[in-house]
Amino acid sequence: MEAQPTDEDRQQVEVTRVVDGDTIEVSPQVEGVEDVRLIGVDTPEVFDGEEPCGPEASAFSEERLAGQQVELEFDEERTDRFGRPLAYVYLGDELYNETLVREGLAEVATFPPNVRYEDRFVAAQDEAQAAGVGLWDPEGPCAAGPNSLDPSPDPTPSDPVPQPAPPDPIPPPGRDELLEAGGPSAGPVPLMPGGICATEYPIRHGGACYAR
């Protein structure tokens, strides 16, 4: 059975701005904070990485709530970890949090102890899923999102880019190019600055210098 809210659990405000689908700004502020987060629902993001249907959820809330006089109803826990007030939003007798879920623009996201209307929200989500709307429409704008019933297949891997064959190894200089006695005195020695060989090692071969 749902707990009945008291007068202390309610506040009349005007929606001065819609931040996104589930966050609004109100006046007068609630305990000094203008941002209010809707309880029990989660709409796709439009900030920090836009998600499919995020813009649609925000536009829907903008159309329905901006400039409206609404009533906020609070539950057991009044603020989230960011210090924003948590509330159920009423447009007249309409529980707007529930409307978002029924339209398929939000998922149920209840966290104890704020579970006053969890059963209603779950029932609304079941209706949205059965109707295949919003997040549950595999052909709609939310189809590419994480909640889609028909997730996009993995992209087909592209053909590998041909890589050039490695150059043939540079053969060492022949016997006639080395000092007959052999040994370290024949080279190789590194090139001098400017890419030239020292007089004692005049044969340049494979990036090194050798004696005759």
Residue 134 to residue 148: CA distance in whole angstroms:
9
Q: Does residue 84 have an active-site annotation?
A: yes
Q: Does residue 120 have an active-site annotation?
A: no
**Candidates 84, 120, 204, 212; catalytic one:** 84
**Candidates 25, 45, 62, 71; catalytic one:** 45
Q: Which residues pair with 14 in a beta bridge?
A: 27, 69
Please give the positions annotated as active site: 37, 45, 84
